[in-house]
Amino acid sequence: FERLQGKTVLITGASSGIGEACAYQFAAAGANVILGARRVDRLSTVSATIRAKHPSVTVETIELDVRNSKAVDQAVSSISGDIDVLVNNAGLAMGTDTVDNLSDAAIDAVIDTNVKGLLYVSRAVVRRMKQQGGGHVIMMGSIAGIVGYQTGSVYCATKAAVRAITESLRAETIGVPIRVTEIKPGMVETEFSVVRYGGDKEKASSVYHGIEPMTADDVAESVVFAASRHPRCVVADVVLLATGQASATLAHRK
């Protein structure tokens, strides 16, 4: 991973799960990391862990709600120097309701974060990457974006949108050295299900009953792999499933 040494990586949603794991792995590869999320206390803990383990890299934390377009623009313009890699990872699902039972809050929060927020961050950072003459955007999609499943309408729609945005951005940047990657994980045990079930840890852990889910580190390995390829090639698309999982809804459970 020596290609990442001294590079600057901006990670959204770095306060837990996949984003946090990416922060540790990029820092371990010698990259300087800029960590964004709403929970700054959590970001401080991540940052302190990295500083203690990897004193030669720099770590910056930014309080960031990706739903706020002005705040996103301000946060990105506060970053000095090049942004070599963006890990557009912040995201969530809220509830498991059928379409006829959806609340406005669940529709708005998930679309505002996963689609509009991802676009705000992409817009600000791609502008920057064009000015600096290149970069790499890594989008966190999901197998939920490939085929919709019962009670997943809003979340699946947002991850299908991530796929569409990824493809459009890739097509738009063929003449600029900006690489675009989408990682589509299956089942990963993070705080994702706890958030989806409104804090109900028991319900959240039942999602992984009888199957060994992936860890955040498993996904971060793919992100770091994609980011560290030779500049002449791009890992365009990665689908990463738990062993024993065939789709969002089909998994072998013991």
Structure-token pair, residue 237: 């698309």
Site string for ligand NDP, 79-118 (x = CB under 6 A): ----------xxxx--------------------x---x-
Beta strands (DSSP E) in 20-98 are 32-37, 59-63, 85-88
Dihedral over alpha carbons 174, 178, 179, 182 (to 10 degrees): -100
CA distance 139 to 86: 8
223 binds ligand 8X3 (CB under 6 A): no
End-to-end CA separation in angstroms for the chain: 37
- The 10 Å Cβ neighbour count of residue 28 is 16
Give, in degrees to the nearest 5, the angle at Cα 56 between 53 and 59: 75
Question: Site residues for ligand 8X3, window 136-175 (CB under 6 A)?
Answer: 142-144, 152
248 binds, among ligand NDP, ligand 8X3, none (CB under 5 to 8 A by kind): ligand 8X3
142 binds ligand NDP (CB under 6 A): yes
Residue 4 or 248 with smaller CB distance to ligand 8X3: 248
126 binds ligand 8X3 (CB under 6 A): no
Interface segment toward ligand NDP; rule CB under 6 A; list 46-54, 58-66, 76-84, 225-233: 58-66
145 binds ligand NDP (CB under 6 A): no
Interaction site with ligand 8X3 (CB under 6 A): 142-144, 152, 186, 248
